């Protein structure tokens, strides 16, 4: 009997398709093996898995391999190179559609058909569907007619809303979704009048140079043209499922955000000749060392024409498979150590290695006689150069991701590794790939100096997450620095000195020592309560988006987790997590808190904060649309499941539930009714089953909630003021809009008056007031917030010790005097001037 192998990016898809096929067998059995997903939850394909699956079902009648798309084909082809030649000779790679083909092939194999007959049945599996949907002799020509005459064409436009435009993550999301539909989708930037590019090609979509506010035309032809255009419009309305709530906004990505703001404002464009630029805060001085993989040079032998295109293409497939496996491993480690947001960097790398448009270009060059290294390097460098030519700095920085994949695959082709052994001192290199940056240890590498690169590059983001001081764009001359030469750098200012004289080195070391002393003093007292000079205790909490954040918050003395962003625990999923999965994730986070209270925010998505598995409407103004608690109440089954999971954890851990973006009391009461139902359900339908420690609170993010705070007081245990959103709604100044950055200041007297309104409403009861926006870690703002009546500051985990130390320097009566004067000030600038005076 013929054996069958199913190769798919999704383990769940392959398993479900196999179950459908087996239902047709009526008790008969067929050998079917799956080579699907990199694990049960991670999308991808692996040639070694395919090889093992082929060997598992192999027999004298042969094996038919069915594949879904993209890298599944490459993995299957490579697997034939890995199995014994005798086995490979009786394996057929089949072009049939996965589900229909699998059903037809399974039935044929069960009936004792030959390999050729099984393949023929699979390939013909669409005939029934085609005859049903397109009856008559013209059916076979319908696709061509539609494309030529526009009968099946669909066309629409959308405006890019993503903060940084269609950069790597949203472009990858778009390309990945488009590939699943039976339609040819093209995109054109109407704002820049760019040529149309294939929507299924990540590398080509990125070259649109689509920035926030640009108008993009999307067209589609094919049987699912309308569905494809509607799908793209829905993705665009959800900002291509890119979470705008960057965990770095509150300083949690920086090593010590209480002392610096990370990348300095006003850094000019890379390549202007004004570098180096600050990329990761901190001061370092030490001996320079350069990894051996900094520069890749192709020899004349590498560039020489090849005689065997098949062998060269096999080399490329093998190199891609190797780098893909390494990237998946690096992504997993990054997610475990730094969180899902940082790990998502590697999703775009995986998508690029599966870009059919790019791989087709590489294969054409190979077929024309180019060697594997020459074909790969020429093609991918051209894509990087197109991105480098864009005007926007953030999109231009995405060229570095393309170069990173270029270098990793090229090194694999040359039989070299892109990994290197970190050494003590300052790493000096042309650039770093995100994979290299993710593996650096701040206890070994004291600083990073890059000749090229950008403060917004993914490598810089990872350096900040690792807490390693870094400067970038230092120029090619820095690569001439001899090994072990002392290099001094300041990652806050961009200052870089190679081979400093004794006086300069002493000055750097003195600044570094002062900074470390302040940090050490703060860290030594981190576990102690933050008492003002007059003895008032202020709780300092940590903002948490993953288990690693919870560990960091605990290690750095957080009194509690003031905000657990539950949506960050399930990024990258296309289906909602089950109650059990959510309980497991929440329990892992609260366990890391070692008994501290955990304030768990229900899903804060919708509008400008998308999540792939939550369907969201297309809205003209998503900031004022269905988001936060509004979306949760519109999808009560999601809210109910989440509350079930939270309540399970609350049974044995101090937990508070926090509802986001509440604007009306009716919304809160509706949510509380669902919570009461869940609690009653957990108690077998009896009343009074609420855990003693369970609290309920809301986020104050819109002016209406702040002004009506007194009405909410009877129904909550605490308020948490989200100053990021409250500021943008109060001042009509979108956060993230660079043109409005000076206006969107949370110390504007209008915003302070709203905070004052909340604190006054809470003062008559035991209702606590916390602040969890960026301003909570601003040393200038601390006296004002305390003076207005805020009794909890929730900040990035690493900022906790410094914020606690700042609180200890304050006198509450003096803070109250400052706050009263600030409320009567004219502007935020006046407020800041009054404090720093």
SS3 135: coil
- In total, the chain counts a number of residues equal to 837
CA geometry: angle 349, 352, 355, nearest 5 deg:
160
Q: What is the DSSP letter of 481?
A: P
- CA neighbours closer than 13 Å in the CB half-sphere of residue 121: 19
Q: How many CB atoms lie within 10 A of CB 661?
A: 24
Report phi then psi at 525, rounded to 5.
-100, 10
Place of tokens 């080509």: 204
CA geometry: angle 716, 735, 828, nearest 5 deg:
85
Where does 111-209 have alpha helices with state H? 115-123, 127-133, 142-149, 168-178, 202-206
What beta strand segments (E) does 597-684 contain? 598-601, 655-659
* Contacts of 643 by beta carbon, 8 Å cutoff, 6+ apart: 602, 657, 674, 675, 678
Exactly one of 167, 256, 406, 458 is catalytic; which is it?
Answer: 458
Task: Please say whether the beta carbons of 357 and 179 come within 8 A.
Answer: no
Task: Please say whether the beta carbons of 380 and 387 come within 8 A.
Answer: no
Exactly one of 94, 647, 759, 772 is catalytic; which is it?
Answer: 772
Q: CA–CA separation, 392 vs 708, rounded Å?
A: 42
**Residue 458 appears among annotated catalytic residues:** yes
Structural tokens at position 126: 């669409």
Task: Please say whether the beta carbons of 718 and 541 come within 8 A.
Answer: no
Q: How many CB atoms lie within 10 A of CB 69?
A: 16
Structural tokens at position 573: 């999923």
Place of tokens 């074909």: 375
Q: CA–CA separation, 783 vs 46, rounded Å?
A: 56
Structural tokens at position 94: 């089949």
- CA neighbours closer than 13 Å in the CB half-sphere of residue 789: 23
**Residue 556 appears among annotated catalytic residues:** no
Q: CA–CA separation, 756 vs 754, rounded Å?
A: 5
Q: CA–CA separation, 62 vs 585, rounded Å?
A: 44
CA-nearest of 733, 737, 727 to 700 is 727
Q: CA–CA separation, 662 vs 726, rounded Å?
A: 12
Tell me: cis bond preceding 708? Omega within 30 of 0 counts. Answer: no
Q: CA–CA separation, 105 vs 117, rounded Å?
A: 9
Residues marked active site are found at 458, 772
């Amino acid at each position: 009997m013929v054996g069958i192998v199913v190769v798919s990016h999704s383990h769940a898809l392959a398993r479900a398709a196999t179950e459908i096929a087996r239902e047709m067998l009526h008790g008969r059995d067929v050998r079917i093996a799956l080579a699907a997903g990199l694990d049960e939850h991670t999308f991808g394909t692996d040639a070694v898995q395919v090889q093992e699956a082929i060997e598992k079902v192999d027999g004298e009648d042969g094996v038919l391999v069915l594949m879904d798309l993209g890298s599944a084909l490459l993995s299957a082809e490579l697997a034939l190179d890995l199995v014994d030649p005798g086995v490979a000779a009786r394996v057929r790679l089949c072009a049939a559609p996965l589900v229909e083909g699998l059903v037809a092939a399974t039935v044929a194999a069960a009936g004792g058909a030959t390999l050729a007959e099984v393949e023929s049945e699979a390939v013909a599996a669409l005939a029934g569907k085609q005859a049903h949907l397109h009856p008559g002799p013209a059916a076979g020509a319908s696709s061509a007619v539609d494309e030529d005459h526009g009968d099946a064409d669909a066309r629409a436009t959308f405006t890019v809303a993503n903060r940084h435009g269609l950069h790597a993550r949203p472009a990858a999301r778009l390309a990945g979704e488009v590939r699943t539909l039976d339609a040819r989708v093209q995109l054109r930037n109407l704002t820049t009048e760019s040529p149309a590019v294939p929507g299924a090609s990540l590398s080509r979509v990125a070259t649109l140079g689509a920035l926030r506010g640009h108008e993009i035309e999307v067209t589609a032809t094919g049987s699912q043209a309308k569905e494809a255009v509607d799908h793209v419009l829905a993705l665009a309305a959800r900002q291509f499922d890119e979470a705008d709530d960057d965990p770095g906004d509150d300083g949690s990505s920086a090593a010590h955000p209480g002392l610096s703001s990370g990348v300095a404002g006003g850094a000019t464009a890379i390549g202007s000749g004004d570098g180096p630029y600050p990329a990761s805060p901190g001061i370092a001085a030490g001996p320079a060392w350069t990894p051996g993989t900094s520069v890749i040079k192709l020899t004349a032998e590498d560039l020489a024409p090849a005689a065997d295109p098949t062998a060269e293409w096999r080399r490329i497939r093998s190199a891609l498979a190797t780098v893909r496996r390494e990237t998946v491993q690096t992504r997993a480690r990054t997610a475990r150590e730094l969180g899902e947001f940082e790990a998502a960097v590697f999703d775009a790398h995986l998508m690029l290695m599966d870009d059919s448009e790019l791989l087709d270009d590489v294969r054409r060059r190979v077929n024309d006689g180019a060697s594997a290294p020459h074909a790969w390097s020429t093609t991918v460098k051209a894509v990087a150069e197109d991105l480098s030519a864009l005007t926007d700095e953030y999109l231009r920085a995405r060229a570095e991701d393309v170069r990173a994949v270029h270098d990793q695959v090229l090194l694999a082709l040359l039989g070299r590794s892109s990994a290197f052994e970190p050494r003590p001192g300052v790493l000096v290199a042309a650039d770093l790939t995100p994979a290299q940056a993710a593996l650096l240890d701040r206890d070994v590498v004291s600083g990073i100096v890059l000749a090229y690169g950008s403060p917004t590059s993914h490598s810089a983001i990872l350096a900040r997450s690792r807490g390693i001081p870094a400067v970038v764009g230092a120029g090619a001359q820095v690569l001439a620095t001899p090994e072990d030469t002392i290099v001094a750098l300041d990652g806050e200012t961009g200052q870089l000195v190679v081979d400093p004289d004794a006086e300069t080195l002493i000055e750097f070391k003195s600044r570094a020592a002062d900074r470390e002393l302040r940090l050490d003093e703060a860290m030594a007292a981190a576990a102690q309560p933050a008492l003002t000079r007059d003895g008032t205790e202020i709780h300092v909490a940590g903002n948490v988006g993953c288990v690693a954040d919870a560990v960091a918050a605990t290690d750095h003395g957080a009194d509690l987790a003031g905000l657990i962003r539950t949506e960050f625990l399930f990024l990258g999923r296309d289906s909602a997590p089950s109650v059990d999965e959510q309980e497991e994730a929440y329990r892992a986070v609260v366990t890391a808190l070692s008994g501290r209270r955990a304030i768990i925010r229900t899903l804060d998505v919708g509008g400008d904060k998308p999540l792939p598995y939550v369907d969201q409407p297309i809205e003209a103004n998503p900031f004022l649309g269905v988001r936060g608690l509004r979306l949760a109440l519109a999808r009560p089954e999601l809210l109910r499941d989440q509350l079930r999971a939270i309540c399970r954890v609350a049974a044995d851990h101090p937990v508070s539930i926090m509802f986001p973006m509440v604007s009306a009391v009716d919304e809160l009461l509706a949510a509380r009714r669902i919570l009461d139902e869940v609690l009653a359900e957990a108690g077998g339908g009896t009343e009074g089953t609420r855990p003693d420690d369970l609290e309920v609170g809301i986020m104050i993010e819109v002016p209406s909630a702040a002004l009506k705070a007194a009405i909410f007081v009877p129904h909550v245990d605490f308020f948490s003021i989200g100053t990021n959103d409250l500021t943008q709604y109060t001042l009509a100044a979108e956060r993230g809009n660079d043109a409005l950055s000076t206006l969107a200041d949370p110390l504007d007297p209008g915003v302070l008056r709203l905070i004052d309104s909340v604190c006054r409403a809470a003062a008559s009861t035991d209702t606590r007031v916390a602040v969890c926006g960026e301003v909570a870690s601003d040393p200038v703002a601390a006296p004002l917030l305390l003076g207005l009546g805020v009794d909890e500051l929730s900040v990035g985990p690493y900022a906790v010790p410094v914020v606690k130390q700042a609180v200890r320097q304050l006198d509450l009566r003096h803070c109250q005097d400052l706050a009263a004067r600030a409320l009567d000030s004219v502007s935020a600038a006046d407020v800041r001037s009054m404090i720093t005076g």
